[in-house]
Structure formats: C-alpha cells, structure tokens
C-alpha cells in the first residue's frame, strides 16, 4: 500500500487530480494479523497537516465488522 500511495503522490503530470495531492495518511485499527489484542498501523506519504483548519484536507472513516472483530480505517488526503 505504501508503494501505491507513493505512486499517487508522485504523479505530477499524468492527471489533474493526482497532481494536486501533496500527502496521504492512512491508519488501520483493530486485530491485525490474527492477534488477540487490537493494535494500529499507519502509513504516511508526503505531508498531511491535521492541526490546521485552513488547509484543504479530506478525511474519511470506515468501520468494518468481521468474525474476528472490528476494524477501523481512517484516511486523510491533503490537496493543494
């Protein structure tokens, strides 16, 4: 996934949407890799200012419920 995010952030001339992305942050929370205790894993490519209201940052959150437990996905996309 990190390679995919790097490719999206590094696309400067191919598409108009991808050229405006300056950074991506992705967090997964839950019982990762079949472990009994919940943990979190994060991937960040580029810069994502999550403390400022003036910046153009899109945020999305998704909860998934499975037989093994609940997972939470959070994603921030910073655009120019």
Taking only the tens place, the pLDDT of each residue in 12-63 is 555 665 568 888 999 999 988 778 888 998 999 988 997 888 889 999 999 9
How far from each other are the two terminal CA atoms of the chain, in whole angstroms? 22
Taking only the tens place, the pLDDT of each residue in 8-17 is 777 655 566 5
Cα-based torsion angle of the residue sequence 58, 11, 4, 17 in order, rounded to the nearest 10 degrees: 30
CATH number of 2-79: 3.30.1140.32
Closest to 47 (Cα-Cα) out of 7, 9, 74:
9
């Amino acid at each position: 996934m990190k390679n995919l995010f790097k490719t999206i952030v590094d696309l400067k001339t191919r598409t108009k949407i991808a050229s405006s992305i300056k950074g991506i942050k992705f967090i997964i929370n839950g019982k990762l890799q079949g472990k009994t205790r919940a943990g979190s894993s994060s991937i960040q490519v580029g810069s994502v200012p999550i403390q400022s209201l003036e910046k153009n940052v899109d945020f999305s959150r998704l909860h998934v419920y499975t037989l093994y437990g609940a997972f939470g996905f959070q994603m921030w996309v910073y655009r120019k």
